[in-house]
Amino acid sequence: MAKTQKAQLNVRVDEGTARAAREKALARGLSVNRYIEELVRQDTGEAGRTFVEAAADFMRQYEKVFAEEIAEGRR
């Protein structure tokens, strides 16, 4: 059986979103990582294009915020 390569993806979310992800994962008996992985797989399987478009729109809207956050972290 071939090994599946794994990639690391780091995301920042507000504390409420993080708490909700932890609670939902726990309720389903999953790690947060596995829970999020399943959500993405489900979304890309059903509406992958919508997901990509929403992510791109999100990045356009918050690009300046991310850039400022990264710049502050480097100071």
**Does residue 42 fall inside a structural domain?**
yes
Q: What is the DSSP string of 6-67?
A: ---------HHHHHHHHHHHHHTT--HHHHHHHHHHHHHHHHHHHHHHHHHHHHHHHHHHHH
Number of domains in the chain: 1
**Does residue 9 fall inside a structural domain?**
no
Would you give per-residue pLDDT tens digits along the chain (75 residues)? 566 788 888 889 999 999 999 999 999 999 999 999 888 888 777 666 677 778 888 888 888 888 888 887 776
Provide the domain limits for residue 45.
15-74
- Can you give the pTM of this predicted structure? 0.54
**Does residue 68 fall inside a structural domain?**
yes
